[in-house]
Amino acid sequence: MGRKSIIKSTLATVFVLLACYAFFNTFIYPNPLRLEELSLRFDPRGNSLNFPANSGPVKVYMYDLPRKFTYGVIESYAMARGGLKAPVNDVTKLRYPGNQHSAEWYLFADLTRADQSGSPVTRVLDPEEADLFYVPFFSSLSLVVNPIRPASVAGDGLVYSDEEMQEGLIDWLEGQVYWPRNNGWDHVFICQDPNALYKIVDRVKNGVLLVSDLGRLGRDQASLVKDVILPYSHRINTFNGGVGIESRKSLLFFMGNRYRKEGGKIRDLLFQVLENEKDVIIKHGAQSRESRRMASQGMHTSKFCLHPAGDTPSACRLFDAVVSLCVPVIVSDYIELPFEDVIDYRKIAVFIDSNSAVKPGYLVKLLRKISSQRILEFQWELKKVKQYFEYEYPNGTVNEIWRQVSMKLPLIKLMINRDKRLVKRDLTESDCSCLCSNQSGMYTAL
Amino acid sequence: MGRKSIIKSTLATVFVLLACYAFFNTFIYPNPLRLEELSLRFDPRGNSLNFPANSGPVKVYMYDLPRKFTYGVIESYAMARGGLKAPVNDVTKLRYPGNQHSAEWYLFADLTRADQSGSPVTRVLDPEEADLFYVPFFSSLSLVVNPIRPASVAGDGLVYSDEEMQEGLIDWLEGQVYWPRNNGWDHVFICQDPNALYKIVDRVKNGVLLVSDLGRLGRDQASLVKDVILPYSHRINTFNGGVGIESRKSLLFFMGNRYRKEGGKIRDLLFQVLENEKDVIIKHGAQSRESRRMASQGMHTSKFCLHPAGDTPSACRLFDAVVSLCVPVIVSDYIELPFEDVIDYRKIAVFIDSNSAVKPGYLVKLLRKISSQRILEFQWELKKVKQYFEYEYPNGTVNEIWRQVSMKLPLIKLMINRDKRLVKRDLTESDCSCLCSNQSGMYTAL
């Protein structure tokens, strides 16, 4: 059939449809709609008309921040500890200290590497093309540049000030075209340590914040809707053995600081009810190479690993447990968890509310009732999701963080457009769109 | 190079990396991270490991509701108006009355059609495979089955009760396996009329609600985060002419009800300041075929079309204006707009706050100052976005609604998983995640 005859028959069909339409239109109600007409009108090839929203991976522009906000923080950290005598010329000589807040390093390194293939986002070098702007300030490392016990002062005698760095970042941003353009909605900040960026968080709160939890942030500063919960980097070695309980003789393991602030006060109570229980290893210990070695050994040989709240609801111990295939027992009522849209944590962890957990005998009795078969099921699931918590895996944590950031884009664009057309109005309450859970919760999610 | 030698060289690389790692580990801080190491460790082919979230279009299961909730509503509507004497055997004989709330018909018809290609969602016939469950109750038509002035009673003498239908829907849902499973989060309801589902909205509020605006819904019932704002179907004919102002002699056009409730009280005030202005056509008129014809003619020959709030902030007139290439002048301070992530409404409409708009002379003076060039720019943009407001276009409103629904899935999955593991806790305020605008607004967004 030639092109002309297709056009003719199409026109004929259209004419017949229009005639039908006019006919039906004379009945008592106007513009009636019928299924078979619609089926004809719908053209599946319509797909070729592309809406702007369907145009591929989200484009991220990473700001080329002054060196002091990135490599400079590493230098200051090393110099404050005597590991470096003076600033270096070649940044490849600098090593980011491995710590639980090193997501900022991994994201920076990811956007810096030459080959971007395999990433859920596309890095663009022209800010005009960008959907989102990543601000790679090493805010968590900046917070701890000055050691708690200063070993030596930096070579030039200047004391590092994290607060000045934060203010400096804002000053720098205010000189950028793209920062005020959309009221900050399209900017992404990393502040993984609960105190990172504390001085300026109110000024950057419209942005997507990459955080460990919402413990120290106000409800107008951060939320599950706007922000992304990151896992801490695990600090102990990944367990390379398989699923099984033969080599896991201890029922429950915990090693960490017994005394914490705020929600972490539960730790001392848990020590009291657990420290004399059979098959339970619970030890007070601060961060050190030796304690990490002991924790590795303990987590690799226990069935369950306790995860109580710390100063904030989250702690790196949860991720240590996951990579140890040691089933986490979470006693932290206000915890928010990374990537919860793709991870059903009930499959990999036991949740117990704080009030029940501190009742003498309750926790251990509950854990002892869990069958070996059920523990193996937990371990299989842990093995499945482990990749989400490995920052160094090719398709591990870093890719998942970018994917989570990407998914915020439609709401970000909506807020950008909406903000700009809002007119003056008399609001009786603040202008918020919320997602609320109506669940009052259970005593244990097992 | 054979497979074995690749494995060998990979192992060698891994060994070298591990050796380097061990070497660096002996320095003063543990687990240091260096850029070039990371670059080596990252394997772009990692992409082949697919995360579950990357698994293609969202899968929608449409409930096969009892006939009374879909075709039965059309029958009752026709019978109540004497257009049908008795229920029909062949549903293809039924015509859905064309009205501004017919999105429910278009979505139902879309999921019913045989060829699903080109859709942003995939319909699945097995609920086990579904990400989301669509409940195709014709809730807006159900609301108006009984005419305001009853012409005749349905054949069997029974009076149709929308409230009973709503309760019946809940009863039916409660008999389904998938309704309680995820606390309703994964269910999609259409309630485009501001009063549709009013009796049961509290019981379905966890679901994605497809609504015209948020005017009658509480903040715990609906939000921009959870729900989707739909456009009304336009009621007047699309303007098929091109961009231009030669044939548009009137400055401003409005035809509609002068007296409305709530926010719509502004209409009478606008009539007072506009009805004696030169080049302004402002007419009181109720819905009728003749008034639609006159409105078509007026909107096709005016530069600007007034869109004041009605009983709720939205009205179909906005979409009539768009398809007429008549620049909407929006005087509705609390309006929410469809698809605002992909449409920047400042490019297609003029926004004026209510207090300013009712000042004598203000509005007309502002519009007269807008240059012809600027009006043409508005028209070009209107032409570009028109497809979003054409329910019958192959890649028009229906596809965009499904795309918007799809984008809710990550947050829906997060809420489902999170709800199930939440333990008892002492909340001082309700458990909400919000997105708040800090903008106080301007007098006009032009």
What are the pLDDT digits (tens) for B196-240? Answer: 999 999 999 999 999 999 988 988 899 999 999 999 999 999 999
Flag whether A410 is in a domain: no
B357 pLDDT higher than 60: yes
Residue B433 lies in a domain: no
Which one of B172, B194, B229 terminates a domain?
Answer: B229
Residue A243 included in any domain: no
Q: Label residues B127-155 b or e (16+ Cβ within 10 Å = b).
A: eeebbbbbbbbbbbbbbbbbeeeeeeebe
| Domain co-membership, B88 together with B23 | no
pLDDT at A286: 77
Nearest residue on chain B to A388, alpha-carbon basis? B51
Chain B residues touching A346 at Cβ < 8 A:
417, 420-421
Are residue A193 and residue A321 in the same domain, yes or no? Answer: no
Three-class SS of residue B444? Answer: strand
Q: Domain range holding B35?
A: 3-49
Secondary structure element (H or E) that encloses residue A298, with its range: helix A289-300
- Which of A252-261, A406-415, B203-212, B325-334 bottoms out in mean pLDDT, i.e. has the lowest? A252-261
Is residue B13 located within the same domain as residue B83? no
For chain B, give the percent of residues with pLDDT over 90.
70
Chain B residues near residue A35 by CB distance under 8 angstroms: 91-92, 109, 112-113
B170, B195: one domain: yes
How far apart are alpha carbons A240 and A335 in whole angstroms? 28
- Mean pLDDT, rounded, for A181-205: 96
**Chain A CB within 8 Å of residue B39 CB:** yes
Q: In whole angstroms, what is the distance from residue A75 CA to residue A138 CA?
A: 12
The pLDDT value recorded for residue A429 is: 82
List, in sequence order, every residue forming a beta bridge with A435; answer none if it has no partner: B433
Given a cut of 80, whether residue A119 has pLDDT beyond it is yes
| The last residue of a domain, from among B172, B199, B229 | B229
Answer yes or no: is A187 within a domain: yes
Instruction: Say how many C-beta atoms besides its own lie within 10 A of residue A126's C-beta.
Output: 8
**Each residue of B40-70: b (16+ CB within 10 Å) or e?**
ebbbeebeeeebebeeeebbbbbbebeebbb
Does residue A247 carry a pLDDT above 90? yes
Chain A: give the shortest CA distance to residue B219, in Å: 8
DSSP 3-state of B168? helix
Does B40 score more than 50 pLDDT? no
Residue A112 maps to a domain:
yes
pLDDT of residue A15: 54
Q: Do B196 and B140 touch, CB atoms closer than 8 A?
A: yes
A151 at B interface, C-beta within 8 A: no
Average pLDDT of A16-39? Answer: 49
Q: Return the pLDDT at B15.
A: 54
Average pLDDT over residues A220-234: 95
Any B CB within 8 A of A117 CB: yes
Higher pLDDT, B149 or A139: A139
Same domain assignment for residues B77 and B105: yes
In a domain, A153, yes or no: yes
Q: Which domain-ending residue is among A374, A389, A404?
A: A389
User: Is residue B239 included in any domain, yes or no?
Assistant: no
Q: Report whether pLDDT(A166) > 60.
A: yes
CA distance B63 to chain A (A): 17
Average pLDDT over residues B429-445: 85
Which of A86-95, A323-332, A423-432, B18-27 has the largest mean confidence? A323-332
Looking at residue B142, what is its pLDDT?
97
Q: Which of B341, B386, B426, B427 to mutate to test the interface with A (most CBs of A within 10 A)?
A: B341
- Chain A interface test: which of B414, B415, B442, B444 (most A C-beta within 10 Å): B414
Average pLDDT for A56-60: 93
Regarding whether B40 and B112 lie in a shared domain, the answer is: no
Return the higher-pLDDT residue of B12 and B293. B293
Identify the pLDDT of residue A37.
56
Q: Is B47 a residue whose pLDDT tops 80?
A: no
Per residue in B166-180, pLDDT (tens digit) is: 999 999 999 999 999
Q: Indicate if the pLDDT at residue B2 is higher than 70.
A: no
Interface touch A183/B439, C-beta < 8 Å: yes
**Nearest one of A247, A213, A216, A241 to A227, comparing CA atoms:** A213
The reply to whether A65 and A134 lie within a common domain is yes
Distance from CA of B411 to the nearest CA of A (A): 7
Residue B432 Cα, gap to closest chain A Cα (Å): 4
CB-facing half-sphere around the CA of B214: CA atoms within 13 A: 24
A30 closest CB neighbour out of B289, B340, B395: B289
Are residue A264 and residue A346 in the same domain, yes or no?
yes
Contacts of B57 (CB under 8 A, 6+ apart): B119, B120, B121, B122, B406
Could you tell me if B42 and B64 lie in one domain?
no
Q: Length of chain A, please?
A: 446
Smallest Cα distance from B74 to chain A, Å: 10
Mean pLDDT of B359-381: 97
Residues B224 and B273 in one domain: no
Query: What's the CATH code of the domain at A262?
Result: 3.40.50.2000
Q: How many Cβ atoms sit within 10 Å of the Cβ of residue A51?
A: 16
Confidence of residue A368 (pLDDT cuts 50, 70, 90): very high
B289 falls in which pLDDT band (50, 70, 90)? confident
The answer, for B180 touching chain A at a CB cutoff of 8 Å, is no
Distance CA B342, CA B399 (A): 13
**Residues B209, B72 share a domain:** yes
| Same domain flag for B225 and B358 | no
Residue B94 has pLDDT above 50, yes or no: yes
Cβ–Cβ gap A393/B46 under 8 Å: yes
Distance from CA of B118 to the nearest CA of A (A): 5
Q: Mean of the pLDDT values across residues A301-322?
A: 93
Residue A353 lies in a domain: yes
How confident is the model at residue B46, as a pLDDT? 34
Res B116: pLDDT: 82
A157 at B interface, C-beta within 8 A = no
Are the beta carbons of B252 and B280 closer than 8 angstroms?
yes
Range A337-364 average pLDDT: 97
CB B109 within 8 Å of CB A46 = no
**Sheet of strand B350-352: strand arrangement:** B280-284, B250-256, B302-308, B327-331, B350-352, B444-445
Instruction: Look at A439 and B422 and tell me if their CB atoms are within 8 Å.
Output: yes
What's the confidence (pLDDT) of residue B114? Answer: 83
Q: Considering chain B, what is the average pLDDT of its residues?
A: 87
| A319 at B interface, C-beta within 8 A | no
**Closest residue of A to B234, CA-based?**
A31
The domain tally of chain A equals 3
Return left, alpha or beta for B356; rule: phi > 0 is left, psi -120 to 50 is alpha, else beta: alpha
Q: Supply the ipTM of this predicted assembly.
A: 0.88
Q: Quote the pLDDT of residue A56.
A: 82
Q: Which two tokens stand for residue B272?
A: 């007072």
